[in-house]
Structures are given as structure tokens and as C-alpha cells.
Chain A
Amino acid sequence: MFRFLFYPANLLIDSLEGVGRYVELMASMFRSIFSWHKYLSLTIDHLFHIGVLSIPIVILTSLFSGMVTSVQAAYQFESGFVPNWFVGSIVGESVLLELAPMMTALVMTGRIGATIAAEIGTMRVSEQIDALESLSFDPVSFLILPRILAAAIMFPVLIIIADCFGIIGGLFAAVNAMDVSSLEFIRGLRNWFRPFDAWFGLIKGLFFGVAITSIACYQGYYTSGGATGVGKSTTATVVISCVAIVFLDYILAAILL
């Protein structure tokens, strides 16, 4: 009857247990990291699935987020106090520091995180993971290591692509929506450009990539309860990844900026 009173306590215990198992899983993955060369061909497969196939959606989202930044900057400049060419600076800074890594991470949570959780979760409930193990494979290094490696490699690459297209989108919108020539836009861009901002975005991308894929692998690996279980793991992956991304975003900014 008073079970609901214990609900917060149980929730806390469950989440701590989850964190413990997550750390354990990551530790056993890192133990096999020195045999990464054995999983090279698998990693290359995932480089393709995680990286190459995501390029169109990354281009699309970064293009539009760059454009919208430009339009909103122009809207705020209407007062006339700020010279119009500043729009290049605003777009450059926002895209490199925040928009490209963040938008890419959120889109990839949906595209990659959910896929990985569903894939590995299905393998769990259909006993494919048991089968792997019975055939003397280490499922952790076979399934998880290549995916996380691939994400660690591909996310920074995707961020670079998002950076470029975000800025192109901003430039396009600025030239079309307000009285800024492309030369002026580029002047604004270069005026405020700090190389560290670009690096910072890449570092964020690396962390986001590892966070998304490791959360997805963890959720998939510990799936139970048939098809419903796979659904739950997928949902949990998306929710937890989004929270982890904004949390990491803050932590990294606080530490590195």
C-alpha cells in the first residue's frame, strides 16, 4: 500500500545499479581494446553505417540550423546598433561551438543510438548473443568495441561536415535575407574566428559519439523481455542519450572554455 513511498528510493537504487553495470561493461570492453586489430573489418563496416550513411542527414540539419541562426541574428540586428556584417561572426561562433556538435549528436541519437540499441537488443532476446558466446566469441568485443571505435572516429568527421554546411547555410541565408554581401559575411566570420572553437566542437563530437554508442550498446546488451524489451531499450537509449548530451555539453564547456 505504501509502496509508492519507496518508489524514489527504488528508482535511485536501480539507476545506481545501472551505472555500475554500465561501468562494468565499458571496463570489459576496454580490456579488449588492445586486440582492436582483430575487429578491424567489423569496425570498417560500422564506419560506413555510422559515418558515411549519416552524412546526408547531418548536412540537412546543419544547413538549416546555420540558416536559422543567420535569420535570427538579422532579426536582432534590426535596431541598427550592430553592423550587419557581424552576422558572419555570430553564425561562425554558434555553429562551431554549439550548433554543429549538438545538432549532429541529437540527430545521431535517433539515427544511430536507436538502431544500435534495437540491433543488439534483438540479438539478446533472440539468443544471438548467447550463440556468439557459445561459439567462443566475446560478445562485448565483437559487438560493442567496433561500434564505439567507429563512432569515436566518425563523429568528429561528421562535425567537420556539419561545421562547413552550417556556415554555408548561414552565408546563404544572410545574403538572401539581409543586406550582407558574402564578402562581408566572411569578414565577420574571420574577425572572431578562434581555432580553438573548431577544436572544441570536435572534442565535443568525440565525447557525444562515444556517449551515444556506449549507452545504446549498454541498453541493447542488457535487454530482456522479448519485443517489448527491445522497444523499452530503444526508448531508454534515446532519452538517456539526450540527457547525457546536454549534461556533457555543460561539463565540457565548464572545463574547457
Chain B
Amino acid sequence: MIEVKNLSKSFGEKGVLSDLNFSVSHGQSVAIVGKSGAGKSVLLKCLIGLVKPDEGTIYVDNKLINSMNFGQLQEIRSNIGMVFQFGALFDSMTVGENISLALQKLTKLSSDEIKERVYNSLEEVDMVNTEDLMPSELSGGMKKRVGIARAIAIKPAYLFYDEPTTGLDPVMTDSINRLILKFQDTGEVTSVIITHEMRTVYDVADRVLLLHGGEIWFDGRPEEIKNSDDLVVQQFVTGNSTLV
């Protein structure tokens, strides 16, 4: 359960988010859409305490994120898997090390169990036997999938995806959408998916928020956003830049 109340954030003079209110309940998969630069990544980073909001409160599992010290944040974060836009793999480490790093720190697994967990995570994203590759040897789509494997390896209750399908070919997009759905279907995971691809929204989300001008412009089901007659929503859904 995530609850965001009156969240505002600006960088210097530049307002990015103003007075956002929404909540995500257990097991939901929520897509947050919006133009580039709308503040989607900033919002997601606020949710795990990487960016401190100027105003407002954020509760994850009824715990207030804003005022947490580092130790308390660590505890919350060990339950959240974050998939970064370009994978954000540590480029001085192999794929296997990227995934085992957090396991060594957050779990009490033995090294054999960690090895197995790494293997299983890579299997989930269809990337077996890549443990010894360096991130520089992977394509963009492979990096994203390893990023997903790293996020799911700690078996989190929340999965946050930052543009998981942006810039990928249609086939890879589909395979990543299926991955997200697969984790979602276990029923134990709450997902927040940032994207500006409507296809991903229709495929995986059961609710969609449109971020526009720092505010939540639309909040509803994917079918509803398709049929909305609001111009801003229409513009985004159809990709027609002449509407507004």
C-alpha cells in the first residue's frame, strides 16, 4: 500500500510536481504515463526516498518515507525492487555480481543459495548463462532484463519500473510486458510502471495515471483513458501533437 499526499517537488525555480495525491493498493499494477520531462522519474524516486520531496507525505506500508533516516530507509528499500530506465547495471561488475550484490547484503543466504537465486532470477528474464558477462557486452534490451532480474532477486513486495520498454524493438517490448505481467500474476507484487508507451499500459496496467503539468490529470482504468474526450488525454493516447 502506497499513499501519496500533497506531494510537491521543485528543483530551484523549476516546479516539477505540485500537490499530487494518490494511493496504490496491494496487488495493483499502476501505470504512470506522461510526456518526457513531466516528472515521472522524479515521482518514482520520491517513492523510495532517493529524492526528498519539498512538501507532502509518502507512506509505504503505512510507514512515512519522508522523515526516515538511512537505516529505516534501508529496511523499506529491501522490500522494493527498482528497475532503472537504462538498467543502471554496475559496469565494473559482471551480471552475476550485479545481482548477487544486494543478496549478500540483504539476505542471510549461503553462497550456494545465492548462486541458485541468481540463476533463477536470470532464468525468469530469459537470460540464463550470462552471469559472467560484463554489462558493456549486453544490448539495451538485455541490460533492462538484467536490471529486472536484479530487482526481483531480492523477492520484493513492490516493483517499480522506470520506462521498462522505452527504446526497445516491438518484440522485446512484448517480452518485457509479459515479464511484468508474469510477476504481477503471482498476486503478491504491487507494481508501479512508468512509461510513455500506451501499448505497455494496455498490456500490463489495471490502472493508469496521467501526469501533466505537475498534476495528476487523469486517473482511471486503461479502457477509460482510451475513450476519454479530454484533449490532453486524447493527445497522449493518440500521439497527435496538434490537439492542444
Contact across chains for A136 and B106 when beta carbons are under 8 A apart: yes
Contact across chains for A131 and B88 when beta carbons are under 8 A apart: yes
Taking chain A's interface residues, is the majority helix, strand, or loop, or is none over half, making it mixed?
A: helix
Contact across chains for A128 and B74 when beta carbons are under 8 A apart: no
Chain B residues numbered 191-208 whose CB sits less than 8 Å from any CB in chain A? none
* Residue A93 is within 8 A (CB to CB) of chain B in the complex: no
Q: For B90, what are the chain A residues with a Cβ–Cβ distance below 8 Å?
A: 123, 128, 131-132
The stretch from B76-84, B121-129, B215-223 touching chain A is: B76-84
CB-nearest residue of chain B to A129: B88
Q: How far is the CA of A136 from the CA of B154 in the complex (A)?
A: 11
CB-nearest residue of chain A to B45: A130
Q: How far is the CA of A122 from the CA of B101 in the complex (A)?
A: 19
A131-B84 CB under 8 A given contacts A136-B74, A136-B77, A138-B70: yes
Contact across chains for B80 and A128 when beta carbons are under 8 A apart: no
A134-B91 CB under 8 A given contacts A127-B84, A127-B85, A127-B86: no
Contact across chains for A127 and B88 when beta carbons are under 8 A apart: yes
A116-148 interface mask toward B, CB cutoff 8 Å, 1 = contact, 0 = none?
000100110011101111111110000000000
Contact across chains for A133 and B102 when beta carbons are under 8 A apart: no
Contact across chains for A135 and B91 when beta carbons are under 8 A apart: no
Q: How far is the CA of A134 from the CA of B158 in the complex (A)?
A: 12
Chain B residues numbered 53-83 whose CB sits less than 8 Å from any CB in chain A? 70, 74, 77-78, 80, 82
Contact across chains for A133 and B50 when beta carbons are under 8 A apart: yes
Q: Which of A131, A135, A136 has the most CB of B within 10 A?
A: A135
* Residue B210 is within 8 A (CB to CB) of chain A in the complex: no
A134-B74 CB under 8 A given contacts A126-B86, A127-B86, A128-B90: no
Chain B residues with a Cβ under 8 A of chain A = 45, 48, 50, 70, 74, 77-78, 80, 82, 84-86, 88-92, 101-102, 105-106, 150, 154
11 contacts between A and B (CB under 8 A): A126-B88, A127-B84, A127-B88, A130-B45, A134-B48, A135-B77, A135-B101, A135-B106, A136-B106, A137-B105, A138-B70
Chain A residues with a Cβ under 8 A of chain B = 119, 122-123, 126-128, 130-138
